[in-house]
Structure 1
Amino acid sequence: MKKKSIIIIGMGEMAGVFARGFLRCGFPVTPVTRQMDSQQVASEIPDPELVLVAVAEKDVQAVLSNIPQQWQESLVLLQNELLPNDWLQHQLNPTVISVWFEKKKGQDYKVLIASPAYGDKANILVDTLASIDISARELQSADELLFELVVKNVYILTTNIAGLKVGGTVSELWKNHEALTRSVAGEIIELQKKLSTQSFDTEKLIDAMLFAFDGDPDHNCMGRSAPDRLKRALQLAEKHQLNLTTLNDIASECLL
Structure 2
Amino acid sequence: MTNEKIILIGIGQLGRIFAGGLLRTGYSIIPVNRGDDMAALAAKEPSPRLVLVAVAENDLHSVLAALPEQWKGCVGLIQNELLPRDWEKYQIQHPTVISVWFEKKKGMDAKPLIASPVYGPASEMMVKALESIDIPCHQLNNDQALTFELVRKNLYILTTNIAGMKTGGNVSQLWENHRDFATAVAQDVMDIQDWLTGQKQDRNKLLQGMVEAFEADPLHMCMGRSAPGRLARALSFADEAGLNVPALRNISIV
TM-score in same-fold range (> 0.5): yes
1:193 pairs with 2:198: no
Q: Percent identity?
A: 51
2:138 is paired with a residue of what secondary structure?
strand
Moved over 2 A (4+): none
How many angstroms does 1:2 deviate by?
Answer: 4.2
Q: Within 1, Cα distance between the matches of 2:165 and 2:84?
A: 28
Which residue of the partner structure matches residue 212 of structure 1?
213
- Whichever residue aligns with residue 3 of structure 1, its letter is N
- Whichever residue aligns with residue 193 of structure 1, its letter is D
Q: Within 2, Cα distance between the matches of 1:2 and 1:249?
A: 54
Q: Within 1, Cα distance between the matches of 2:198 and 2:174?
A: 29
1:155 pairs with 2:156: yes
How many angstroms does 1:107 deviate by?
Answer: 1.2
Q: Within 1, Cα distance between the matches of 2:78 and 2:123?
A: 11
Summarize the alignment of residues 60-99 of structure 1 with structure 2, pairs less than 5 Å apart: 60-92=60-92, 93-99=94-100
How many angstroms does 1:251 deviate by?
Answer: 1.3
- Whichever residue aligns with residue 80 of structure 1, its letter is N
- Whichever residue aligns with residue 49 of structure 1, its letter is R
Which residue of the partner structure matches residue 53 of structure 1?
53
- Residue correspondences, number: 253
Which residue of the partner structure matches residue 21 of structure 2?
21
Summarize the alignment of residues 1-256 of structure 1 with structure 2, pairs less than 5 Å apart: 2-92=2-92, 93-253=94-254
How many angstroms does 1:204 deviate by?
Answer: 1.2
Give the stretch that moved more between structures: 36-45 or 112-121: 36-45
How many angstroms does 1:223 deviate by?
Answer: 1.2
How many angstroms does 1:205 deviate by?
Answer: 0.7
1:155-182 superposed Cα distances (whole Å, 9 cap, x missing partner): 0000000111111111111000000110
Q: TM-score, normalised by structure 1?
A: 0.97
Q: Within 2, Cα distance between the matches of 1:79 and 1:106?
A: 21
Q: Within 2, Cα distance between the matches of 1:7 and 1:230?
A: 33
- Whichever residue aligns with residue 122 of structure 2, its letter is K
- Any stretches of 5+ residues in structure 1 without a counterpart? none
1:179-202 superposed Cα distances (whole Å, 9 cap, x missing partner): 011000000000000111111121
1:26-68 superposed Cα distances (whole Å, 9 cap, x missing partner): 2111111112001111112111110100111111111111111
- Whichever residue aligns with residue 24 of structure 2, its letter is R
Q: Within 1, Cα distance between the matches of 2:43 and 2:88?
A: 25
RMSD: 1.0
- Whichever residue aligns with residue 22 of structure 2, its letter is F
